[in-house]
Amino acid sequence: MSVSTAQTALFTAAISALGSIPTAFENVPFTKPVNAKWAALFFLPNRPGVETLGSVGQDMVTGIMQIDINYPQDTGDSAARADFETIRVAFKAGYSFTSSGQVVTITNCGRSAGRLVDQFYRVSTTVSWWAMIPR
pLDDT in tens, the chain (135 residues): 689 999 999 999 999 999 999 999 999 999 999 899 999 999 999 998 888 888 888 999 999 999 999 999 999 999 999 999 999 999 999 999 999 999 999 999 999 999 999 999 999 999 999 999 988
Three-class SS state of 55: coil
38-45 and 23-25: which strand pairing? Answer: parallel
pTM: 0.92
First-last CA distance in the chain: 9
Tell me what pLDDT residue 28 has.
Answer: 97
Are 84 and 21 a contacting pair, CB within 8 Å? no
Q: Which structural domains are found in the chain, ordered by start?
A: 3-134 (3.30.2000.20)
Report how far residue 124's alpha carbon sits from residue 4's, in angstroms, rounded to the nearest whole number.
22
User: Smallest Cα–Cα separation from 75: which of 32, 125, 31, 120?
Assistant: 120
Question: What are φ and ψ of residue 69, in 5° steps?
Answer: -115, 130
